[in-house]
Amino acid sequence: MRIADTTRQADVLRTIQDLRTRQADAQARALTGRQVNKPSDDPAAAAELARIRASSAQADTQLKAAGVAKGDLEVAEGVLAQAGDLFQQAHDLAMQGSNGSMDAANRATLASQVQGLKDQLVGLANTQGATGYLFAGSKTATQPFAASGAFSGDNTDHVVDLGGAAPTSVSASGADAFTAAGGRDVFADLDSLITALNSNSQSGVQATLANLEASRKQITNVRALAGIKLDRLNTTEDILGQAKLALAQREETTAGADPYQAYSDLVTLGQSLEQAVGVAKKVLDLGDLFRT
Amino acid sequence: MGLTQILSTALDGLNASQAGLTSTGQNITNVNTPGYARRDLQLETRGQGLNGVNVAGLRRIADTVIERRQYQAIGLSSAASERDSQLGALEAMFDDVGGSGLSDALSAFYGSFSALASNPSDPTARANVLAKADALSGRISDTADGIAAAKGELLTKAQETTAEVNRKAQQIAQLNQQIVSARAQGQDTGNLEDQRAKVLLGLAPLVDITVLTQGNGAVMIQASGATLVDDVSARTLSVDLASNGDLRFTSQTVGGAPTDVTRYLTGGTLAGIKEARDVDLAQVATKLDDLAYGIQTQVNAQHTAGFGLDGVGGRNMFAVTASSVGAARAMAVSSDVAGNPNAIAAASSAGTVPGGSDNAVLLSRLAVQPAVGGRTVAQAYGDLVGDVGARKAGAADEVTLREGVANQMSAMRESASGVSLDEEMISLSKYQRAYEASTKLITTVDQLLEELMQRLGR
């Protein structure tokens, strides 16, 4: 085939342009560490990448939600532990008050101590976390327990999305822990003890012992439930962390470039380009050779 | 044959060599001129008895069959390049790897409900939901606007390109006229044909053309299935919008009725524009509309089921559109909730505000529920990214294929018509030697005549 000079020049130019393009691609792979730098590099991988990133972002969000929920639930669990201790103290005071040798003045003193415990319990039941009053149900903006122990909250669970089949409850129920909704109105039980002590009724004080124990168990049960929820949150965090890792590995498998291969390609193409430019010089100088 | 006849023959040789050097010089000078076809000096022996050489003329070396194929190959290559270029711009709108896609905005939007569920009464979390909804709707509508703007720009480009096609068609018609006229007068039309070839090489990338050479030297050009240039007259190619908004190309003679030639358009920039605008951009825009409509419908349905901090329910999160048509461009935060974070419905009943989070959880979980044709939003968006990528990758492959063919055709044309400096250098030497030899012949005859004159003079 007869080769015209323009064809020769065009061939040289095309070859160099092609090498430059491939070099730019290899450079992008080496720089970013990714095989897929734009959707057209691998459409199927790009589509998969978009889905993986959505899943990864969702796992991030759920991890954050679990972290926030854990914070408040840990506080609630601690508060319930203290509340249980208060009832243990109340029970101890009731035991003292049921002693037959105790006189009215001593019982009044005990009543005063129990009133102090009640006040502390009201304070604990009105504890606020990052999300508002922890034992108010959905009424997080309003103090749920009055000084009397009257409850103005509700028994609504605080739920978050942690990726499970159903929303995850991350709250400890104040209603179940402190009100009759859980079986016993714990403040009323304390009030009964105070009344019995103030009326210097040994039998009345004795009668409150079982109820005080029931109240303590009620609070302990809700605390145990909060502990279980905390355990679940920890497990969820582990699972989400593993899922994140698996997604990162999938992203790497889907779009990652072998760094050694990318660097090798870059070097090889650089050498090819140098050679092509050298050949181009010779090819384009051929006319000069004739003239000399 | 006498000595003086030999001198006459030598003079022929000098003239032929000069003509050879002239044609070689012309070829060398035009080595890089587009449309130029190399010239071959046509020499012939003189009639019987004279034995000299006659310069019959210069032959323009051109293969019309290869040229015709080249024009078609250029048209197809140009169409592929135009579409590839337009899809490159489209791809940039969905380049999540480069950070310009919708993935982040989608994730942030659904994630904001999760953060709200964590703390439903938190004003910051509520404001964040609104901000992310605004960012998502803005991103989607910006992308849709970008596609619509690209379609508008392509209409303008199609109009500019058809104007250029018409200008070149006029040039070719005029050159046809000059060639026919010159040929009738027995003049060399090589230079005019070169000029016409250059214009044809400029026309071929714009629209698919078929070039047919006529007996009088003129060429007839068919573009997009209709005659564009017939002998010395040119028709007009026009573009406007059909009733469905697609480009419509019409061909028209002066004073004649326009003929719709859209469906016959197969090559050139115009075909690339048509394909990119009315197929690729239109289909991607439809899919984006479906995505936007799926999001707004699903989110609105869930959001209206919930209640804001003020205990009011039934509010939409996004402005409602009647159908998916134009949903992406119209995507915006609903006036029900715009500027009012307390209106975000985190609770599923008025009785559970402000701490009720169950509706926020359900809104957050929409991210993993079917929303667009049985696919989740993330899946549907991934499909869209894959679709755009596949179109761009396909277009790039098409460019490689079509450019390869066009380059091959160009090489074949140049093989026949292009100037080879190697050949021209050899021709230069050849004619230089021939000229020297003719000069030597004259010198020899001159010496013989001088000797003859001396002998006759004694």
Chain B residues touching residue A24 (CB < 8 angstroms): none
E runs forming strands in A127-196: 128-129, 132-133, 159-160, 168-169
Residue A58 with chain B: CB contacts under 8 Å: 107, 110-111, 367-368
Measured CA to CA in angstroms, residue B452 lies from B1, B3, B5, B448, B457 at distances of 16, 10, 16, 6, 8
CA dist B146 and B148 (Å) reads: 5
At A126 the three-state DSSP class reads coil
Percentage with pLDDT > 70 across chain B:
99
Average pLDDT over residues B237-252: 96
B31 to chain A nearest CA, in Å? 7
For residue B103, the chain A residues in CB contact (below 8 A) are 50, 53-54, 57
The token pair that represents B10 in the structure block:
């030598």
Under the banding of pLDDT at 50, 70 and 90, the label for residue A284 is confident
| Cα B440 → chain centroid | 59
> Mean pLDDT of all residues in chain B?
94
User: What does the pLDDT read at residue B177?
Assistant: 97
For residue A154, list chain B residues with Cβ-Cβ distance below 8 A: 351-352
Q: Which chain B residue shows the shortest CA-CA distance from A36?
A: B97
Q: Report d(CA B218, CA A257) in Å as an integer.
A: 58
What is the reported pLDDT for B203? 98
Record: contact A43-B364, CB cut-off 8 A: no
Å between B303 CA and nearest CA of chain A: 16
pLDDT band at A290 (very low <50, low <70, confident <90, very high): very low
For residues B37 and B195, what is the distance between their CA atoms, to the nearest angstrom? 10
- Cα B121 from Cα B117, distance rounded (Å): 9
Cβ atoms B35, B200 nearer than 8 A: yes
Q: Is A43 within 8 Å of B410 when comparing Cβ atoms?
A: no
CA–CA separation, A182 and A217 (whole Å): 10
If pLDDT is split at 50, 70 and 90, which confidence band does B458 have? Answer: low
Chain B residue with the nearest C-alpha to that of A162 = B114
B457 falls in which pLDDT band (50, 70, 90)? confident
**H/E stretch holding A107:** helix A104-125
Question: What is the model's pTM?
Answer: 0.89
- Give pLDDT tens digits for A18-59: 999 999 999 988 988 889 999 999 999 999 999 999 999 999
- Give me the mean pLDDT over the B270-290 stretch: 98
Query: Which of A7, A54, A65 minimises the CB distance to B117?
Result: A65
Contact status of B378 with chain A (Cβ, < 8 Å)? yes
User: Which pLDDT score, from 0 to 100, does residue B5 have?
Assistant: 84
CA distance A182 to A80: 14
Q: Which residues contact A39 (CB under 8 A, 6 or more apart)?
A: A46, A47, B91, B94, B95, B96, B97, B385, B386, B388, B389, B392
- Of residues A137, A156, A161, nearest to B114 (C-beta): A161
* Coil vs helix vs strand at A145: strand
Say which residues have a Cβ less than 8 Å from residue B341's Cβ, sequence separation at least 6.
Answer: B123, B126, B127, B129, B130
Helix (H) or strand (E) holding A3: none
Cβ contact B417:B62 at 8 Å: yes
pLDDT at A292 over 50: no
Q: What is the mean pLDDT of residues A259-264?
A: 88
The answer to whether the CB of B199 falls within 8 A of the CB of B193 is no
pLDDT score at B49? 65
Is residue B415 within 8 angstroms of chain A, CB to CB? yes
CB-CB neighbors (< 8 A) of B388 in chain A: 39, 43
Q: A45-60 burial string, b = 16+ CB within 10 Å, else e?
A: bbbbbbbbbbbbbbbb
Give me B100's structure tokens.
């310009």
Q: What is the pLDDT of residue A286?
A: 52
Residue A234 has a CB neighbour count (10 Å cut-off) of 12
Report the residue from B108, B355, B367 with minimal CB separation from A158.
B355
Collect all residues of chain A within an 8 Å Cβ-Cβ radius of residue B97.
34, 36-39, 46, 49, 255
Phi and psi dihedrals of B228, rounded to 5? -105, -45
Cβ neighbours of B355 in A, within 8 Å: 131-132, 136-141, 156, 158
Each residue of B35-90: pLDDT tens digit? Answer: 999 999 999 998 766 678 999 999 999 999 999 999 999 999 999 999 999 999 99
Q: How far apart are the CA of B441 and the nearest CA of chain A, in angstroms?
A: 28
A-chain residues within 8 Å CB-CB of B356? Answer: 138, 156
Buried b (16+ CB within 10 A) or exposed e, B271-305: bbbbbbbbebbbebbebbbbbbbbbbbbbbebbbe
| Percent of all residues in chain B with a pLDDT value above 90, rounded to a whole number | 91
Whether ipTM > 0.90 holds is no
Tokens of B436: 């020297």
SS3 of A133, please? strand
Mean pLDDT score, B430-438: 96
Tell if the CB–CB gap between B115 and A286 is shorter than 8 Å: no
Query: Distance from first CA to last CA of chain A, Å, rounded?
Result: 26
Closest CA to B269 of B392, B394, B410, B162: B162
Residue A98 has which token pair?
A: 């049921």
Residue pLDDT, tens place only, A147-162: 999 999 999 999 999 9
Q: By the CB < 8 Å criterion, does A164 face chain B?
A: no
- Smallest CA-to-CA distance from B266 within B249, B244, B241, B284 is with B249
Contact A222, A80 (CB under 8 A): yes
Q: Residue A288: what pLDDT?
A: 52
Q: Are B257 and B357 in contact (CB under 8 A)?
A: no
Residue A168 CB: number of other CB atoms within 10 A? 23
Average pLDDT over residues B290-309: 97
Whole-number CA gyration radius for chain B:
37
Question: Rounded to 5, what percent of chain A is helix, strand, coil?
Answer: 75, 5, 20
Confidence grade of residue A259 (pLDDT, cut at 50, 70, 90): confident
B117 interaction partners in chain A (CB closer than 8 Å): 65, 159-161, 167
Cβ contact, residue pair A4, B419, below 8 Å: yes
Tell me, yes or no, if B350 comes closer than 8 A to chain A by beta carbon.
Answer: no
Residues in chain A with CB shorter than 8 Å from the CB of B361 are 159-161, 167
Name residues 226-255 of chain A within 8 A of B (Cβ): 255
Find the CB nearest A161 among B119, B365, B386.
Answer: B365
Residue of B116, B118, B428 best to disrupt the A interface, most CBs of A under 10 A: B118
**Helices and strands counted in chain A (H then E):** 8, 4
How do residues B169-228 score in pLDDT, each as one tens digit? 999 999 999 999 999 999 999 999 999 999 999 999 999 999 999 999 999 999 998 999
Query: Which tens digit of pLDDT belongs to each residue from B143-161?
Result: 999 999 999 999 999 999 9
Contact (CB, 8 A) for B338 and B130:
yes
Selected residue with higher pLDDT from B6 and B431: B431
Residues in chain A: 292
Least confident of A100-104, A228-232, B138-142, B165-169: A100-104
Across the interface, of B104, B385, B425, the residue whose CB is closest to A47 is B385
HEC string of chain B? CCHHHHHHHHHHHHHHHHHHHHHHHHHHHCCCCCCCCCEEEEEEECCCCCCCEEEEEEEECCCHHHHHHHHHHHHHHHHHHHHHHHHHHHHHHCCCCCCCCCHHHHHHHHHHHHHHHHCCCCHHHHHHHHHHHHHHHHHHHHHHHHHHHHHHHHHHHHHHHHHHHHHHHHHHHHHHHHHHHHHHCCCCCHHHHHHHHHHHHHHCCCCCEEEEECCCCCEEEEECCEEEEECCEECEEEEEECCCCCEEEEEECCCCCCEECHHHCCCHHHHHHHHHHHHHHHHHHHHHHHHHHHHHHHHHHHHHCCECCCCCECCCCECCCCCCCCCCCCCCECCCCCCCHHHCCCECCHHHCCCCCHHHHHHHHHHHCCCECCECHHHHHHHHHHHHHHHHHHHHHHHHHHHHHHHHHHHHHHHHHCCCHHHHHHHHHHHHHHHHHHHHHHHHHHHHHHHHHHHHHC
Q: What distance in Å separates residue A169's CA from the closest CA in chain B?
A: 10
The alpha carbon of residue B141 is apart from the nearest alpha carbon of chain A, in Å, by: 19
Peptide bond into B354 cis (omega under 30): yes
Asked if A260 reaches chain B (Cβ–Cβ under 8 Å), the answer is no
Q: Is the pLDDT of residue B283 over 50?
A: yes
Nearest-angstrom CA–CA distance, B193 and B198? 8
pLDDT in tens, A78-91: 999 999 999 999 99
Nearest-angstrom CA–CA distance, A102 and A107: 7
B 297-336 near A (Cβ less than 8 A): none
Taking the CA atoms of residue A29, residue A33, residue A34 and residue A37 in that order, the dihedral angle to the nearest 10 degrees is: -50
